[in-house]
A and B are shown apart, each in its own frame.
Chain A
């Protein structure tokens, strides 16, 4: 029916050349991608970016402002802030990444099981998800940390558990829509077996949206994980994780403003870049047929 009415904002009358289908990434997105590549390099090869050790204490130089010798200043134990931030990239990003991967896997499993299993399984799983969703993500994470104890691995698990219920719901909703779609019906009409239909059509189309959401969720996971470290429950000293560095720095704000600025800037820069790229992917891959 909509084919018969031309829309005033997109007339097809006299355009001879077809509209470009793929939007080219804008300048900010390109810059963000470059930043992400840089971050990956920093996390993988910190030694390339600084020769100074992040754990070398030097009480004489404690709490010096940014200068030529120490680009980003030193902390209360005389450790070089710049080196700490460089070496802190790996733990800061890795926790968030592992949490996201775990959450995607867990959410996909749960959501698919609910949508494709029987109605009873769906009810039970969704009641469980409802309960988990009733608790704030941080609360769930704190609960998990209470049981498991602090530490980087436990933090990743804790953050993941906070994300899984939401992801499961997304997957389940998508799977239900896909299950009723015209192309699944067409596949059944071709005589394909249930297994084949699930593997070839339902899985990829149901999981696609989750992956897109997860790219933006990655940024949130980093913030939450660093937040837990900030609270003393995540990465433990002397790990130069950025959240933990902020927590240290908070005690010396009056005398060392740089301790409260640069670790947070690093987190923000990472998350902004991830969000920009994630949103671009979201815009590009969300096909909503009108």
Chain B
């Protein structure tokens, strides 16, 4: 009856919170920008410059560095609201076009990695939860290894083995599906490790609950109980992993793209950070905050769909 209304108010509240977070992220980026020691013009021009003081003054006026901080901030927010992320210092192109240009390969990589990780985690968890101790121990050991191996090392190992030695996959670039395989596997590994562990523990916790005994007393088989009852309960703790997931995918993207020489947001970020290209850094910060917020909201809605007990509050 009021289920529709309660979902609408919940969604509205989350939207408001999302906007607040984006706002906060933008402010954070601006604050970081202000905190960089030294003259912003120096930063802009880079260390190996020979510009004269007059040129520097002109640049200062052009970029508005000579105005009070508050004014700069308001201007910054104003431009953001209009969708203008500014111009990259070093690359001299609009930040928004730089970002949208590089988004594709990274999205491909992240998407492939998530799919691989979820499939692996599901298989491992359903097959080993509550089964023979030897199987569980093997799964746990696998998960432990998966989260302990740094992505940059597993990438290098896979590169060495499959690209340099065996020459199955290309060494660098992003052309075609073959170039996606190794990077996606590398990125998926730690994610699969954590997802598998959380899913398995969730399944085992659910299997210890009384309603499982009731279900089996109705004549259900072990597998049916797992799939029809326990899995839904196990999915709930997964949804709390949002923040970690997006963080790992982003950080992983930076490292994996570097190791495999793939273009993407990761390499863009690195470049921006190394050259202190603040508009670009700001743009990427906002992008990652926006992605986080979007995924959070999606998973929150999923959470509501799975667990009816949350809907009435």
Interface SS, B side = helix
Q: Would you call A260 and B156 a contact (CB within 8 A)?
A: yes
Chain A minimum-CB-distance residue to B282: A143
Q: Would you call B251 and A267 a contact (CB within 8 A)?
A: no
Chain B minimum-CB-distance residue to A264: B153
A188 close to chain B: CB less than 8 A: no
A246 touches which one: B156, B254, B288 (CB < 8 A)?
B156
Q: Would you call B247 and A147 a contact (CB within 8 A)?
A: no
Chain A proximity mask over B222-260: 1 for CB below 8 Å, otherwise 0:
000000000000000000000100111111001100110
Contact residues in A for B259 (Cβ distance below 8 Å): 250
Chain A proximity mask over B284-302: 1 for CB below 8 Å, otherwise 0:
1100110011000000000
Of the stretches B29-37, B83-91, B116-124, B176-184, the one at the interface is: B29-37
Q: Would you call B29 and A232 a contact (CB within 8 A)?
A: no
Q: Would you call A147 and B285 a contact (CB within 8 A)?
A: no
Contact residues in B for A139 (Cβ distance below 8 Å): 247, 250-251, 269, 284-285, 288
Interface centre among B151, B258, B276 (most CB of A within 10 A): B258
Of residues 165 through 224 on chain B, the ones whose CB sits less than 8 Å from some CB of chain A are 165
Question: Total A-B pairs in contact (CB under 8 Å)?
Answer: 147
Interface centre among A139, A250, A272 (most CB of B within 10 A): A139
Bound Cα distance A279, B141 (Å): 12
Q: Would you call B145 and A272 a contact (CB within 8 A)?
A: yes
Q: Would you call A272 and B144 a contact (CB within 8 A)?
A: yes
Q: Would you call A227 and B24 a contact (CB within 8 A)?
A: no
Given known contacts A219-B148, A264-B150, A135 and B285 CB-to-CB distance under 8 angstroms? yes
Q: Would you call B150 and A268 a contact (CB within 8 A)?
A: yes
Q: Would you call B150 and A147 a contact (CB within 8 A)?
A: no
Chain A proximity mask over B27-56: 1 for CB below 8 Å, otherwise 0:
011001001110000000000000000000
B61 close to chain A: CB less than 8 A: no
Chain B proximity mask over A138-160: 1 for CB below 8 Å, otherwise 0:
11001111110000000000000
B149 close to chain A: CB less than 8 A: yes
Bound Cα distance A138, B148 (Å): 17
Q: Would you call A254 and B164 a contact (CB within 8 A)?
A: yes
Of the stretches A15-23, A51-59, A123-131, A206-214, the one at the interface is: A123-131
Counting contact residues on chain A (CB < 8 A from B), the size range is 35 or more
Of residues 135 through 158 on chain B, the ones whose CB sits less than 8 Å from some CB of chain A are 144-145, 147-154, 156-157
Bound Cα distance A135, B144 (Å): 25
Q: Would you call A136 and B148 a contact (CB within 8 A)?
A: no
Q: Would you call B32 and A146 a contact (CB within 8 A)?
A: yes
Chain A minimum-CB-distance residue to B270: A231
Contact residues in A for B152 (Cβ distance below 8 Å): 227, 230, 243, 246, 264
Q: Would you call A130 and B24 a contact (CB within 8 A)?
A: yes
Bound Cα distance A267, B273 (Å): 25
B10 close to chain A: CB less than 8 A: no
Of residues 181 through 208 on chain A, the ones whose CB sits less than 8 Å from some CB of chain B are none
Contact residues in A for B273 (Cβ distance below 8 Å): 142-143, 145-146, 233
CB distance from A171 to the nearest CB of B (A): 16
Of residues 219 through 235 on chain A, the ones whose CB sits less than 8 Å from some CB of chain B are 219, 223-224, 226-227, 230-233
A102 close to chain B: CB less than 8 A: no
Q: Would you call A230 and B32 a contact (CB within 8 A)?
A: no
Q: Would you call A147 and B156 a contact (CB within 8 A)?
A: no
Contact residues in A for B269 (Cβ distance below 8 Å): 139, 142
B21 close to chain A: CB less than 8 A: yes
Bound Cα distance A115, B249 (Å): 31
CB distance from A54 to the nearest CB of B (A): 20
Bound Cα distance A246, B25 (Å): 33
A137 close to chain B: CB less than 8 A: yes
Given known contacts A142-B269, A226-B150, A135 and B156 CB-to-CB distance under 8 angstroms? no
Q: Would you call B28 and A227 a contact (CB within 8 A)?
A: no
Bound Cα distance A160, B255 (Å): 19
Chain A minimum-CB-distance residue to B163: A253
Q: Would you call B157 and A137 a contact (CB within 8 A)?
A: no
A275 close to chain B: CB less than 8 A: yes
Contact residues in B for A265 (Cβ distance below 8 Å): 153
What would 16 A/B residue contacts be, using CB atoms closer than 8 Å?
A130-B24, A131-B28, A134-B293, A136-B251, A136-B292, A137-B251, A139-B251, A143-B281, A227-B251, A230-B255, A231-B255, A232-B274, A253-B160, A257-B160, A261-B160, A264-B156
Interface residue ranges, B against A (CB under 8 Å):
17, 20-22, 24-25, 28-29, 32, 35-37, 144-145, 147-154, 156-157, 159-160, 164-165, 243, 246-251, 254-255, 258-259, 269-270, 273-274, 276, 278, 281, 284-285, 288-289, 292-293
Give me the 10 closest cross-chain CB pairs, A-B, nearest first. Answer: A264-B153, A138-B251, A131-B24, A136-B247, A136-B250, A271-B148, A260-B156, A272-B148, A134-B289, A134-B292
Interface residue ranges, A against B (CB under 8 Å):
127-128, 130-139, 142-147, 166, 219, 223-224, 226-227, 230-233, 243, 246, 249-250, 253-254, 257, 260-261, 263-265, 267-268, 271-272, 275-276, 279
Given contact pairs A130-B17, A233-B273, a sample of 8 additional A-B residue pairs in the complex whose CB atoms are under 8 Å apart: A136-B247, A136-B292, A142-B270, A143-B29, A146-B32, A250-B259, A264-B154, A268-B150
